[in-house]
Chains A and B, each alone.
Chain A
C-alpha cells in the first residue's frame, strides 16, 4: 500500500476537464428541460410576450411616422416634388420642364399644379344685410389636371363624398375636410372657423386673384395630410383663367417614379438638367414641412423610449424567471457540486436552458410578428387622426432584439447561479 501517491488518479488534462464540464452542462440542461415541460412552456410563453413587447410598441410608434410619411408621399408629393423658387411666381420654363419629365423612362407619371392663395365663402345667399358678413375661410386653391393628378397620386381615392373632377368640369370644385364644419376632424387652421352647412352640391364662392367666382361643390377630399385638407381643387384651365395667367408657369409638379426606380438617382439626374435652375427639386421627405419632421422625430424618440422601457421590463422579467428557476434548485446545485461537478458545468447547464428558452421564445415571437401581427396591422391600420398607424419592424431590428433577449438572459442566468455556487457546498446540500 502506497499512502501518498501524489499523482491524481486517472489525471486528465485541464482542458478536457473544461470540456467535460460543458458536456455535463448540456446533459443537465437537457434533463431539466425535459423533466419540466410545463414550466418550460410557460417560460417560453413569457419570452414570446416579452419579445413582442420589445418590438410591437416601439414598432407602432415608428409605424405612425411611416404611415404619415407614406400617406404624404402617396397623395401629395409623389416620390419627387418640384416647386417654384420662393422669389418666383412659378416654375420658369415650365413647358420645357414638363417635356423633359415626359421623356424620362424612370418617371411613371407626374402632375403639374397651379396654386394660388385665396378664400372660400359660403352661406352668402341668405345674408341680405350689409353688416351680415358671409362665412369665409382662407384656403389654397389648386388647379390640377384631373387625369394626371389621379395617375400620379390617386387623388380620386381620397374623395369621401360626391365625385372626383373630370377635365371638363367647369365651375366645380373639390373641397378639403378641414375647411368645412360638417367634415372637420381634429385639425383646422388656428384662428379660423370652418364653414358650416356646406356639403356636396352646395354653392360656394372662391375668391382668388381679386375675383369672386361662384362654383358648386362636387366632392369632399379627406386625407391624413393637412396640406390636402386645406385645399380647394379645380380644373387647371379654369384657375389659370380666374388668375388671368398668360404664361405656362406651374407652381408644383408631383412626380411618381416607375417601379424599381431610385428616387435619389432620378433627383440627381434632374439636378443636372436645366430644371435645376428653374425649380426646387426635393425628395418626398425633404419636402416635408418642419412641424412634420418635428412630429416624426418626437414619435421616433417616443418609440425608442418605449423600446427602452420594454428592454428594462424584459430584463426584469427574465431575471425573475431565471432567478426563481435557479433558486428553487439550490439543493440540486449543491449536490452536483458535492459529487464533483465543476461550477462552470452547472452554470453552463442553467445558461443553456435559459438561452434555449430565449431562442425558442424569440423564434416563435418572430414568426408571429411577421406572419400574423404585421400583416394584420397592414390590413387593419390603427386610424389615428394624423396617420394610419401600421407596425413597422425591420427584420434586422427583430434579429437584434432577439440577440438582446439572449444576452439579457445570459446575464440574468449568470448572477443567481453565481450566488449559489459561492456558498459553502454543505449549506446548499442541507438547504441551510
Chain B
C-alpha cells in the first residue's frame, strides 16, 4: 500500500509563499491502477514526485508498505526506490550515453543481479515492450514512442510493486500512445500498482479509480468504468506473470 497523509507542498515565489496543496491524503491499494488528472499547473507532477520519494514534502508523511519515508536515511530511501518503484517520466529519462539494453541493465545490477542474469532480464523486458531488435540503439537513435517503451522496460524489468508514470503518452502520436497504454494495462493485469498522471481519455478508461487534483485537493471522478478482468482480491504482489 502506498499512502500519503496530511501532505503539504509549498514553493517560494519571490517574497511570498505559494502553497500548492495542504492536508492532502492519498492511498493506493496493492494492485490498483489510479489515474490522476487535473489542469496544467494543478500540481499533479509534484504530487507524483512526493509519492515516488523523489522530493520531500514540506509536511505530512508518505509511507510505502507501512514504512514512513521520512524515517529513512538517504541510502535506505534510495534502496526503497530501487526495490519498490518503477518510474516512467514524461520525457523518458534515459541515460543518453547508454544503449537501450544498458539503460534497463543499470537498476538490475544495482539490485545485485549477476551480469548474465541482469542482461537476460533486461533483454526480456525489452522484448516485452517490442524492442527486441533495438537492444543496442542509443536513445538519440530511437523515436519518442520507442524511448518511452525503453523507459517502461526499465521500470518493469525488476518487477517492482509500484509503477509511477507522469504523462507517459504526452509526447507520443496516437498510435504510439495506444501501444504504451496497452502496455500499462498489461502490467496492471500482472498485479502491479500503477499510479499514472494523464489527460488521455483512453487511460481514464483503464483505471480502477480516477482522481482529479483541483485547488490542492484530490477529488474522486466517476466510478470504475472498466472493471479489471481479474478481481483485485486475487491480484497480489510478486511476479507479474506476463
Contacts and interface: CB of A to CB of B under 8 A. Distances in A.
Contacts of A1: 29-31, 232-233, 235-236
Nearest to A12: B112
B186 interface: no
A332 interface: yes
30 contacts: A1-B236, A3-B66, A5-B65, A6-B67, A8-B67, A8-B79, A10-B83, A16-B112, A20-B112, A23-B110, A24-B106, A27-B106, A27-B109, A31-B102, A32-B97, A35-B96, A332-B95, A335-B94, A337-B78, A339-B81, A339-B82, A339-B106, A340-B85, A340-B110, A341-B106, A341-B110, A342-B79, A424-B55, A429-B54, A429-B89
Nearest to B96: A332
B111 interface: yes
Interface in B96-141: 96-98, 102, 105-107, 109-112, 138
A144 interface: no
A339 B111 CA distance: 11
A27 B82 CA distance: 17
A426 B55 contact: yes
Given A1-B30, A336-B106, A426 B49 contact: yes
A425 B95 contact: no
Interface string B228-242: 000011011100000
A96 B97 CA distance: 82
A9 interface: yes
A345 interface: yes
B109 A340 contact: no
Contacts of A12: 112
B227 interface: no
B56 interface: yes
B24 interface: no
Interface size class of B (residues with CB under 8 A): 35 or more
A35 B95 CA distance: 11
Given A3-B1, A31-B102, A341 B78 contact: yes
B81 to A, nearest CB: 4
B13 interface: no
A128 interface: no
A9 B66 contact: no
A216 B178 CA distance: 109
Interface size class of A (residues with CB under 8 A): 35 or more
Contacts of B56: 424
Nearest to A335: B93
B18 to A, nearest CB: 15
A343 interface: yes
A360 B195 CA distance: 47
A4 interface: yes
B78 A36 contact: no
Contacts of B237: 9
Contacts of A341: 78, 82, 106-107, 110
A213 interface: no
Nearest to A333: B95
Nearest to B235: A1
A229 B237 CA distance: 95
B106 A28 contact: yes
B55 A425 contact: yes
Question: Which 3 pairs from chain A and chain B are nearest by CB?
Answer: A340-B82, A35-B97, A4-B66
A21 interface: yes
B66 A340 contact: no
B107 A342 contact: no
A429 B81 CA distance: 15
Contacts of A182: none
A69 B236 CA distance: 85
Nearest to B159: A9
B12 to A, nearest CB: 13
A343 B55 contact: no
A26 to B, nearest CB: 10
B44 interface: no
A407 interface: no
Interface string B58-98: 00000001110000001100111111110101000111111
Interface string A315-343: 00000000000000000100111111111
B43 interface: no
Nearest to B78: A342
Contact of B29 (A3, A23, A339, A342): A3
A17 interface: yes
A8 B67 CA distance: 9
B145 interface: no
A3 B30 contact: yes
B161 interface: yes
B98 A20 contact: no
Nearest to A340: B82
B54 A340 contact: no
A21 B110 CA distance: 6
Given A4-B66, A339-B81, A342-B79, 11 more contacts: A1-B29, A1-B30, A17-B79, A19-B112, A27-B106, A332-B95, A332-B97, A335-B94, A339-B87, A340-B81, A425-B54
